[in-house]
Amino acid sequence: MLDDLTGKIALVTGASRGIGRAIAIALAEAGADVAVNYLSRKTHAVETCAAIRKAGSRALPVKANVARAAAVARLAATVELELGPVDILVNNAGIVGVKPVEDISEADWDEMIAVNLTSAFLVTQQVLPGMRSRGWGRIIFISSVAAQTGGITGPHYAASKAGLLGLTHSYARHLFKEGITVNAIAPALIETDMVAGNLQASPAAIPIGRFGAPSEVAAVAVLLAQNGFLTGQTINVNGGWYMS
Ligand code: NAP
């Protein structure tokens, strides 16, 4: 039997646009109230919140740079105060940086790891004690086909996304008995601003022959939130690029 998400509190990082936005709205359509984290595009976040409210759920836009521990602590406290303790966490916020391999600097590496990987650790650590005390939680990491194949972006991006799979496996293992499932989604070439800004991204790279839609990733996130017997897995939403 699948879990009812009605009244559950979800936090989706990087939900102002793209995949995060679609996941936030899909969780709302499944009954959850949703905190919409963003970095700088407030108008987009407010628009995502309007779509969530239209679906009949509560919504809260929260600006925070999830790569910074102090900002993450404020984010978690604000969500708990305004909506309630987080039951469903989707670590989605991320960046790409397309450069020739030899031009990737230590600063590029540090920024990529901070935004794509450290952020997921920081937000998870903030909400985990509450999930444990309530005996129910869902943690979803948005990885990438780059973790599995190297992708088309660069080694710093691929490493950050592979690191998320390590977090998935370790958290899942620690939390088996506590009603908390932990999974990753590994998409490839989903039609968002991120892909529009990457000249190397072409539908020709995808066996199915087209980009994916954010809603096709969002449907998987909802399933992961509803299914208490599914943990420690990577669900590939990639048009057949990598087969597991
Ligand atoms: P996107 O359209 O570029 O949106 C990125 C989102 O992340 C925005 O909401 C942005 O906020 C937010 N963000 C960026 N840095 C942040 C930070 N430091 N703190 C808080 N929020 C931050 O990207 P997308 O394509 O939807 O990608 C979403 C996730 O899926 C990323 O982790 C990406 O690596 C992964 N992914 C995407 C694809 C793809 O083909 N699109 C494939 C595999 C994996 P603002 O709007 O305020 O800037």
* CA 16–ligand 1 middle distance (angstroms): 9
Return the residue whose CA atom lies nearest to atom 3 of ligand 1.
Answer: 194
Q: Ligand 1: which of 95, 140, 193 to mutate, judged by most atoms within 8 Å of the beta carbon?
A: 95
> What are 107's two structure tokens?
């600063």
Distance CA 238, CA 13 (A): 21
Which residue has a Cα nearest atom 9 of ligand 1? 14
Domain parsing of the chain, residue ranges: 9-237
| Predicted pLDDT of residue 16 | 98
Could you say which architecture CATH assigns to the domain 9-237? 3-Layer(aba) Sandwich (3.40)
Helices (H), the chain: 18-29, 42-54, 69-82, 106-113, 119-134, 146-149, 155-175, 193-196, 214-226
Q: Is the CB of 48 under 6 A from ligand 1?
A: no
Query: Would you write out the chain's pLDDT as a tens digit for each of its 244 residues?
Result: 899 999 999 999 999 999 999 999 999 999 999 999 999 999 999 999 999 999 999 999 999 999 999 999 999 999 999 999 999 999 999 999 889 999 999 999 999 999 999 999 999 999 999 999 999 999 999 999 999 999 999 999 999 999 999 999 999 999 999 999 999 999 999 999 999 988 788 999 999 999 999 999 999 999 999 999 999 999 999 999 999 9
**Pair 221, 185: CB distance under 8 Å:** yes
SS (H, E, C) 87-136: CEEEECCCCCCCCCHHHCCHHHHHHHHHHHHHHHHHHHHHHHHHHHHHCC
Q: Compute the distance from residue 116 Cα to the ligand 1 centre, in Å.
A: 9
CB 71 within 8 A of CB 88: no
User: Amino acid identity of 140?
Assistant: I
Active site residues: 157
Rounded to the nearest angstrom, the distance between the alpha carbon of 215 and the centre of ligand 1 is: 15
Q: How far apart are the first and last CA of the chain?
A: 26
Nearest to 154 by CA among 94, 95, 93, 101: 101
